[in-house]
Amino acid sequence: MSILVVSASHRGASVESLNALALDTAGVTKLAHGLTDTEVVDEAVVLSTCNRTEVYAHVEKFHAGLEVVVEALSQASGLSPLELQRICAVYYDEAAVGHLFAVAAGLESMVVGESQILGQVRHALSTSQQAGTVGSALNSLFQQALRVGKRAQTETSIGAAGRSLVGAAVESLARLGVELDGRTVVVLGAGSIASLAAHTAADAGADVVVVNRTLAKAQRLAEQVDGSARPLGELAAALAGAQVLITCVGAPGTVVGPELVQGTPLRGVVDLALPADVDARVGEQVALVNLERLQRELAGTTGAAEVAVARELVSGEVSDFLGARRAAKVAPTVVALRTMAAEVVSAEMSRLVGKAPGLDAAQLHEVERTVRRVVDKILHQPTVRLQSHAAAGGSPDYAGALRELFALDPDQVAAVSSLSRTETPAGEVDPAGWPDAGRAAERA
C-alpha cells in the first residue's frame, strides 16, 4: 500500500480552476466515499480550502490509484483529466508525508505561516473519520501532521504576528485607501473565516454587522464582537448602512453582484470565498480584494530565513515519522521471533518436567525464569539493532533475513502485521506529465 496525494492549489491552479474544485462538507464526503468504494483505494481524506483542494489516498497501486483519484476529481469538478494533469501536483509516499506536514505548518499557504490551515486539516480528518473513509495509515499521518503544524506555529517565527488571509486582505484594502477604523463592516457568513474576519474588524475599531442564512449563528458571532446580526434576507438593508463588506460564504454562484452594491455607501469589498461570492464587476464600483488579487500580492512576501527554519523543523519531523514507520514495519517479525522463542522454551520446560519428575514447582519456576532470561538476552541486541537499522532506512532486509534464518511462520508474521499496519512501502515516482514533488517545491 502507498500514500498518494493529488493537489490543486494556488501555486499551480487559477482561481477559476480552484472554484471548480471547491467542495463543501457534503461534496468532500461524497468524493471520499466514491474513492474508497473502488478496489484500489482503501482510505481517503479530502482537504478543500479557499486556496487548495487535495486528495490524500492510501492506495493498492500507484498508477491505478492516480487514475482513480483523477477521474473522481474530474467528475466532481467538471475539469477534464488533461486539465487536472496540467494544474495538479502529485506526491507519493515520502514526498506525500513531507507535503502534508508542510501544508499543516502553513508553508504551502497563500499567506505563509497562517494558522487557519491547522483547523482546516483537523476538519478534513474529522470529516473523513465521520464518513468512515480513514483508517490507521492516514489517521496516524494526519494526527502527526497536526502536531507538526502546532510545533511550527509555536516554535518558529513563521507564525509571528498572527498571519492570516483575513489580515492580509485588510492590509490590501488599506493600501487601496479603505480603512476599517470607525467604519461599519458587514461580515457575510458565520464560519471560521467569517469569525476571524469579524474579530479582526472589531479589533480594528469597526462596528460589525454579521449576516448569515441562519440568524442564530449570526447572533452568536455578533455577541462575541459586540456587533449586531441580520438574516441573509436583510443583506441589502445591511449594506445600505455599511462602508465595507467582508464575505466568505463559498456558495455555488455569486451572492453579491453589481446591482446589490450600486447606490450603497460601500467603499471596499473583501471576497475570501471559494467559489467566489462576489461578481468581479463589483470591482468597477468599489475597491475589491479577492483571492486572485491576494495571490498576486502575497507571492514571496515571507522572509527566506523564517521559511528555512520552519522547513528544517518539518524535514526533521518527516524523517522521524518515516523512521518510526519503517521500525513499525519490522515489528511483526520481532513479535514472531519472540513468540517462536517462547514456544521453544515452553516445549523444553514440558520436556524437562517429564525427564526430571523430582523437581518441585519452585525449582521448575526458577529454571523457567533462567531460561527465559537467557533467551531474552540473546534476542535483545539483534531485535534492537534490527529496529534501529530499519528506522535509518536504506539498510539490507534484515527482517527478511531473520524470517528466513529462523523459518518464521509467514502466516503468523502476516497476522501481526495486519493488526498494526501503518507502513507504506517506499517509492519515488515521477509519472510523465505530472508535476513532481521537486517541481512543486520550486514553485513554493
**Ranges for all domains in the chain classified under CATH 3.40.50.720:** 165-298
Q: What is residue 193's predicted lDDT score, i.e. its pLDDT?
A: 87
Is pLDDT of 357 > 70? yes
Superfamily per CATH, domain 2-162: Glutamyl-tRNA reductase, N-terminal domain (3.30.460.30)
The rounded Cα 203 to chain-centroid distance in angstroms is 30
Give the residue carrying C-alpha cell 502507498. 2
Fold exhibited by the domain 165-298: Rossmann fold (3.40.50)
Lowest average pLDDT, out of 70-84, 190-204, 258-272, 376-390, goes to 376-390
Q: Is 3 annotated as a binding residue?
A: no
User: Which residue type occupies 172?
Assistant: S
Q: What is residue 301's predicted lDDT score, i.e. its pLDDT?
A: 61
Q: Is 248 annotated as a binding residue?
A: no
48 in helix, strand or coil?
Answer: strand
* DSSP string of 99-155, one letter each residue: HHHHHHTTTTSSSTT-SHHHHHHHHHHHHHHHHT---HHHHHHHHHHHHHHHHHHHH
**Is 50 an active-site residue?**
yes
DSSP 232: G
CA angle, residues 109, 314, 92, in degrees to nearest 5: 80
Mean pLDDT of the chain: 86
Q: What is residue 295's predicted lDDT score, i.e. its pLDDT?
A: 84
pLDDT tens digit sequence for 45-59: 999 998 899 999 999
Measured N-to-C along each axis, helices 25-36 and 116-131 cross at an angle, to the nearest 10 degrees, of 50
**Ranges for all domains in the chain classified under CATH 3.30.460.30:** 2-162
Is pLDDT of 424 > 60? no
**pTM for this entry:** 0.70
Q: What is residue 31's predicted lDDT score, i.e. its pLDDT?
A: 98
Q: Is 267 annotated as a binding residue?
A: no
Neighbours of 347 (CB within 10 A): 10
Q: Is 114 annotated as a binding residue?
A: yes
Q: Is 301 annotated as a binding residue?
A: no
pLDDT tens digit sequence for 267-313: 999 999 888 899 999 999 999 999 889 888 887 665 677 788 889 99
Q: Is 2 annotated as a binding residue?
A: no
Average pLDDT of the residues in 160-179: 84
Q: Is 109 annotated as a binding residue?
A: yes
Determine which one of 21, 28, 45, 50 is catalytic.
50
pLDDT band at residue 381, thresholds of 50, 70 and 90? confident
CA pseudo-torsion sign 23, 29, 34, 39: positive
pLDDT band at residue 109, thresholds of 50, 70 and 90? confident
pLDDT band at residue 77, thresholds of 50, 70 and 90? very high
